[in-house]
Structure 1
Amino acid sequence: MDASAKVFALDKSIQQCGEWTVVLPRRGRGRRKLPALRTLEEQPQLQPWCPADVELDPDRQSKLMQKMQASMEKVERSVFFKKMFEEFQTGGIWEHFRRVLGSEVKMQMVIYGIGSIESYETPRFQLSVALLLKKRFSWIGDIEVFDPILSATESRVLEAFGCSVLSINEQGRRQAIKPTLFYMPHCEAQLYDNLLRANWKAELLNQIVLFGNSFQVYQHMSNFSNSLVVGRSRHIFAATKFTDEYVIDTVSDDYFAAFHDSSWHFFSPDLKTELQIVTN
């Protein structure tokens, strides 16, 4: 069953998770099966998920909608976003996006680990940038979101902004069978490593754009980390050899907490030997 097809929907009722509605994939030609992975260690541990607090509070929902709208307006007016948008258009970033898109019209976006948008401003800034990029670029397609801490209220608000909330915890192991922007600001290294591991083939890596913690910073920090941490991040370190990275300039203190040490990452492994560095 295709993990990407399992999403929360507010207007249908097929399978109930408490009072929350989960829509399962439709049967038909478009249905894809998850490819078999090579080892037990790589086998995704897909865990069904729904918000712990299934009861909705209309007042909380209304207040959170207002917070998100205010956040998006603030970010859109900021020097930070204007500079980010200009660099997106004029620098090498756009050429990389064109390469990943290829002949496809749309690039889906998957957001992992966004955090609590109700409790903290930083996740609201991060989500605002993702939504504004979709607003500015018609080629950015559907947005899917997952974080195990999301509440029912937050899930409803995400749906109101056009996102779908995944009903399973993929643990970052989504295979890029089509061009995909993985938007993962300030996630744990293990999540990035899971993503790379699940896509450790040239044809898959070439379909990925990753926004998240700088791999260059991870490489530098590896000199001061213990062997266990390094071992769990081996795909990150191996990928630096064929990664083009563009560091985000936070411009002001307002956006430092949300985007410091964040980068766009583009992968272009050409030689099979580059992917044989990591062994299971």
Structure 2
Amino acid sequence: AVPPSSVDGFISVCRAKGKRRGAKATSLRKGHSNTEPATTNGAAEDPEEFDSGRLLRRISEAECELANSAFFTGAIEKILPVLKQAHIREIVCLGLGKLADCNISRYQLAFLRCLQRKLDLGSVQYFDPVFTDCEKEILRQLDGIVLKENLEGKYSAKQNTLYYLPHCPKQISNNLLWRNWSLDQLGRVYLICNSFEQIIINSPERFLQQNARFILQVAKHTVEIPIENNFKFTDIFNDTAFHYFDTTSLQSESSTFWEATEPTYTEEDLELITRTERLHLHENGHENAAQIAD
């Protein structure tokens, strides 16, 4: 692929509506964000103004690089047979971050698009409260569907669905599990996200009971396939794994296991942008990122 730095010229310029120059971007995640500086030798775009054509080329170049990498070949060998056998019907991507600003986000999008082609699925659904109107338009040009509402990860799997949550906070995965907390629905959920095993190893049980109870409970019924972090940039897919759930094993659980109270989180432990916070950002002059661009 042609290095992004060698691509010159402006095709079209978008100005992000309602953005203040220098305002710090906020994603579905707090703290550990796809808006943080990447170690991928790519300069961040101006937060108010960027070249749509150049961004599309950068995404295309990232796809080409990933598709021909040993990293992608190895990942696909592990997860594609499971996904094909499952006859995945939908892909939902949450928390991708700022495509215009961050190489990490672009490579994570590139991975998903390469996987989408392997699955021969027509479109992907995307949501992140930080998407600008221009980034939404880019995703639509790539045949994506930009979702309107911030459900904080509480999406119901009505058919076999792959959820792609690159470096999203554990509460998003926990909310997703809660929304699908039944034998039938967990059987429809396939997840690429931060490793459940590593979340459990690296967090005290008290914290997990409060912030990741459903991850903790379903762990013994989870088939986790680690995605080897051997891409040339090691801060893009680190701690990422593919997960699905053993419905045969889940059948042995009692009714107590299936009791599911909607999760709540303490402010000090909250890592995601809630619907209320998103509205507060809008009232303070930021773009209402939940509005789908016309």
1:74 alignment partner AA: E
- Within 1, Cα distance between the matches of 2:107 and 2:161? 21
Q: Relative contact order (alpha carbons < 8 A, sep ≥ 6): 1 or 2 greater?
A: 2
Please point out which of 129, 136, 147 is paired with 2:111.
Answer: 129
Compared CA separation, residues 128 and 153, structure 1 to 2 (3 A): same
- How far off is 1:109 after superposition? 0.1
Name the residue aligned to 1:118. Answer: 100
1:126-205 to 2 correspondences below 5 Å: 126-138=108-120, 140-205=121-186
- The percent identity for this pair of structures is 24
| Paired residue secondary structure (1:273) | coil
Q: Please, which runs of 5 or more residues in structure 2 have no aligned partner? A: 1-16, 19-47, 262-294
Please point out which of 70, 80, 84 is paired with 1:79.
Answer: 70
Q: Please, which runs of 5 or more residues in structure 1 have no aligned partner? A: 1-17, 20-55
- Within 2, Cα distance between the matches of 1:275 and 1:187? 30
- TM value normalised by structure 2: 0.67
Compared CA separation, residues 274 and 222, structure 1 to 2 (3 A): farther
- How far off is 1:175 after superposition? 0.5
Name the residue aligned to 1:271. Answer: 251
| Paired residue secondary structure (2:130) | coil
Please point out which of 60, 66, 69 is paired with 2:57.
Answer: 66
User: In proportion to residue count, which structure has more helix?
Assistant: 1
- TM value normalised by structure 1: 0.70
Compared CA separation, residues 155 and 193, structure 1 to 2 (3 A): same
2:244 alignment partner AA: F
Instruction: Please state if 1:241 is matched with 2:220.
Output: yes
| Paired residue secondary structure (2:129) | coil
Instruction: Please state if 1:97 is matched with 2:79.
Output: no
| 8 A Cα contact 2:122 2:143, kept in partner | no
- How far off is 1:75 after superposition? 1.2
Name the residue aligned to 2:200. Answer: 219
Name the residue aligned to 1:53. Answer: none
- Within 1, Cα distance between the matches of 2:98 and 2:193? 17
Compared CA separation, residues 275 and 72, structure 1 to 2 (3 A): farther
1:22-41 to 2 correspondences below 5 Å: none
- How far off is 1:97 after superposition? 2.6
1:238 alignment partner AA: Q
- How far off is 1:185 after superposition? 1.1
Q: Deviations over 1:132-183 (max 9, x none)?
A: 1111222x34310000001111111111111110111111111001110001
What is the aligned-residue RMSD (CA, Å)?
2.2
